[in-house]
Amino acid sequence: MIDFMVKTNANQPDRKWKRVRLGDLGLLESHLEDVIFRNHELLCLERIGLFVGDIHLVRQGRILDRMGYQKYPDLMFLTDRGDVGVVEVKRFGNRELRGRSVISQILDYGAALGNLDERNQAELFSQGIPGCTRLEDVALKLVGDPNRARWLAKFYKNRLSQGQLHYIIVCDEAPEGLSEWIRSASRNDATDYQISVLEVSPFQNDECPGDIMWLSQPVAQTETIHRTTVQVIRNDDSGELSVNVSSESPEVIEERSESDQPSSPSGERKFRDGIEQLSEEVGLPGETIRSALAVANQEGIKRDWKWAYDSFSSQDSEKIAFLRGKRNPGLVEGRYGVNLVQPWRPSVFFGYYFSSHDHSIQPVGKGRGGDFSIILDVTKSWGRRNGFLEAPEFQSLCERLNLLSSEWTISQGSNPWHPLMIHRPMAELMRGAETESDIVSRWFRAAKEGLDMLLSGGELQTLRDRLEMEGQE
């Protein structure tokens, strides 16, 4: 492990750069992910046995596995030598980085990726490359030669179908014992994949704290032996020859015959940052928290919310529980949860609130993973037409809530679409939970408690009745 670097200049004093952890700099895993995405050389592919000329790297992937669960690998890559890889980024101190958890997680991503059909695989790898429906299309953008692209696509398909992927676990510092877990993964002779651990560490100089230098060091990898394959490819048009050296398992030496973008990346990134912060706050793996929230959302849209509908929805409202967002249902506008009633005249949201960008209300648990929130949603034009924000019933609702003494915070925002929020830190709600089911149970108890606070005074029901009566006159 390298802890210091010294920069010398004949005309200047020596400058010492000291190794620090991401947490010491206030940086999250997503920051390291960004650095690697912009500088793929930090993956040190040659040091782990991948001799490549070019690489196509994508981030913020979203894979639906056969059980219907969403998987979110941090980074994935294809090389111009036919390699396929998955990269998982962890910060030192993340519980998932210790023991088997991170190994199981990254292998699970690879299995889900291999189970996709080619169209979905191509869609996943075609970020920034429009019009790709086959892996050959992606390969063509990478190498520019149709003949070589066809050959590469065959290797991509074989490796994906056989699970012969390169897995790279990146961290700012590898905890004690991780290397042993990685090496133990290669003791099965049937292993076709390769797992590597890579430390990408920030270095800081006291005189220039805003400058960061990044040093990449492979610290462990599996010892699976592969057969080396040399391919000589002739371009039918130019007659030129190109040579490709790749590492293959014996089962796929013989080529097989050819078989036949994110809507809100910044929102998903903030969501992942929030999950990371929650994981550190409550001491549970991020995947457990993410999975619990997804389960709560799915159960939430199936439950009977008639008691809530009756307390605020109009006779013309569609009384349903639903998840907004097409690409990742439930995740939109800095929040992840269930909506009751549409259109918003008004509507109510309950669930995880992690970003104030759209709503203009800071989470109480900012920096600690965000809040569990009950949010009153109002269509701006409808609210303006009916004087919703100035209505005595809405003013009475706000006054009553502000007089309550509880662990919830009452916030009125400047965004007329989301004028009122009842919220509390998510970490406090989850404190002491040990399993996914514990989190789900606490999520629903908080939803019931927050909705009761919002609706029990009858102000929204009175407002609804008045507006309907005025509409009949």
Say whether both 322 and 375 belong to one domain. yes
Residue 262 pLDDT: 35
Alpha carbons within 13 angstroms on the beta-carbon side of residue 285 total 14
**Residues 234 and 288 grouped into a single domain:** no
Of the residues 228, 261, 294, which one is the last residue of a structural domain? 261
Within 13 Å of residue 102, how many CA atoms lie on the same side as its CB? 30
**Residues 211, 224 within the same domain:** yes
Domain stops at, among 246, 261, 276:
261
Q: Do 184 and 331 fall within a single domain?
A: no
- 306 and 277 in a single domain? The answer is yes
- 56/106 same-domain check: yes
Q: Are residues 255 and 283 both part of a single domain? A: no
Over the chain (473 residues), the average pLDDT of each successive run of 10 is: 84 90 92 94 86 87 81 92 93 83 89 91 87 91 89 90 90 84 59 83 89 89 49 53 43 30 60 93 92 94 95 90 85 94 94 93 95 95 92 95 92 92 96 94 97 96 90 50
Domain end marker among 261, 288, 304: 261
> Are residues 286 and 210 located together in one domain of the fold?
no
Q: Are residues 349 and 234 in the same domain?
A: no
List, for residues 107-129, the tens digit of each pLDDT value.
Answer: 999 999 999 999 999 999 998 78
pLDDT at 21: 93
Radius of gyration of the chain (CA): 26
Q: What is the pLDDT of residue 240?
A: 57
Same domain, 187 and 275: no
Report the DSSP beta bridge partners of residue 221.
Answer: 196
The model's pTM: 0.66
Q: What long-range pairs does 56-60 form, CB within 8 A, spacing at least 24? A: 56/125, 56/129, 56/138, 56/141, 56/142, 58/124, 58/125, 58/127, 58/128, 59/33, 59/127, 60/262, 60/265, 60/268, 60/269
Residue listed under structure tokens 């592969």: 226
Provide the number of structural domains found in the chain.
2
Predicted pLDDT at 420: 97
Range of 232's domain? 4-261
pLDDT of residue 350: 98
Q: Are residues 351 and 203 in the same domain?
A: no
Q: Which tokens hold the place of 417?
A: 């679409």
- Give the model's pLDDT for residue 282: 94
183 & 274 share domain: no
Output the pLDDT for position 184: 67
